[in-house]
Structure 1
Amino acid sequence: MRNVSILTAGSALITIAVVVTIWSWISTGSVGELRPGDDDAVVQGSRIYAQNCASCHGGDLQGETNWKQPGPDGRMPAPPHDETGHTWHHDGRTLFRLVKFGPTALLDPGSSYETNMPAYDGVLEDEEILAVLSYIKSTWPDDVRQRHDEMEVVQ
């Protein structure tokens, strides 16, 4: 009887460990490095951005007008991804998760923030998301890229 209890407890601990590990991986996503100096990644990211992002965020990364205020529908407009926006204020891991899971997935429960930004999980592969983010970062001035790099080191 004692062996059955030990076996049951051991199985439960292993199951919990596996579930926690899987949940941790799913909730954070698999994040690689942004590669704004990698020409292949930047070209691929530019193409994917044009196909999936530019219709809202603009062909020149300029975002929608009045992006800091809710639109008539109550939703926040698409922000710029150039140096005038706040994209570079977020570390790469957060940017990756915003694109993959959508902004609302990262908000506190009960948040009233609404946006039209979809989740791209199942639409874009992780490497494609990283390529888009690499393209965006490649367009920032050197001082903005340097500040973003410094933020990455702190994370």
Structure 2
Amino acid sequence: MSRAIKIWSVPLILLISVGVALSVFLGGSSRSASLELRPGDAELVRRGAEVYAQNCASCHGVDLKGEEDWQSGNADGTLKAPPHDETGHTWHHDDELLFRVTKFGTVKALDLKDFNSNMPAFEGTLTDTDIVAALSWIKAQWPEEIRERHDMMNERKRSNKQ
């Protein structure tokens, strides 16, 4: 290998690495930089409010209340959109599962057979950062006690993986 190639290969590899890292961090990739929800990140939560309003509110409600009588099924056998506020079960699921359900849809995320769901998959529609932003906005709306319980559940899950 010539000396010129050796000299330029290190900076080129570094440049490519930085580009990939920035792409993932800024949401330009389908890979997630972090699945941890960040309800305390004001800029991310602001972005999440916009993403939620454009993609989620039509089913789950502007006020996060879900569809009326959400615990009963629809005539076609699908489930109604649940609330994402403290009255629903969203906060009972860890960050990773919430992300997977949003990105891949309920059926694929949970590997369910013979289950009909109206929950669309947002893979290809929203970036991973948009999904984390929307979920972070939802979490930011929960009472502090619910957020703390959700954080503890996530911490237990992370501890069990190690």
Mark yes or no: TM-score above 0.5: yes
- 1:69 alignment counterpart: 72
Q: Name the amino acid aligned to 1:127.
A: T
Kept in 2, the 8 Å contact 1:36–1:137? The answer is: yes
Unaligned runs of 5+ in 2: 1-30, 158-162
Deviation sequence 1:74-100 (CA, Å, 0-9, x none):
110100000000000000000000000
Number of aligned positions between the proteins: 126
1:113 CA drift (Å) = 3.0
Deviation sequence 1:42-63 (CA, Å, 0-9, x none):
1100011000000000000000
Q: After the TM superposition, which residues 3-152 of structure 1 pair with which residues of structure 2 at under 5 Å, given as runs?
A: 30=32, 31-110=34-113, 112-152=114-154
Runs of 4+ in structure 1 displaced over 4 angstroms? none
Q: Name the amino acid aligned to 1:77.
A: K
Distance (whole Å) between structure 2 residues aligned to residue 43 and residue 109 of structure 1: 33
Unaligned runs of 5+ in 1: 1-28
1:120 CA drift (Å) = 0.3
Distance (whole Å) between structure 1 residues aligned to residue 111 and residue 122 of structure 2: 20
Kept in 2, the 8 Å contact 1:76–1:113? The answer is: no
1:109 CA drift (Å) = 4.4
SS in 2 for 1:69: coil
1:106 CA drift (Å) = 2.6
1:68 CA drift (Å) = 1.3
1:108 CA drift (Å) = 4.1
Deviation sequence 1:18-62 (CA, Å, 0-9, x none):
xxxxxxxxxxx6343211011111110001100000000000000
Kept in 2, the 8 Å contact 1:137–1:145? The answer is: yes
TM-score by length of 2: 0.74
Of stretches 72-81 and 130-139 in structure 1, the one that deviates more from structure 2 is: 72-81
Q: Name the amino acid aligned to 1:100.
A: K
Cα pair distance change 1:123/1:108, threshold 3 Å: closer
Distance (whole Å) between structure 1 residues aligned to residue 74 and residue 149 of structure 2: 31
Distance (whole Å) between structure 1 residues aligned to residue 100 and residue 115 of structure 2: 17
- 2:10 alignment counterpart: none
Cα pair distance change 1:109/1:38, threshold 3 Å: closer
RMSD (Å), alpha carbons? 1.2
TM-score by length of 1: 0.77
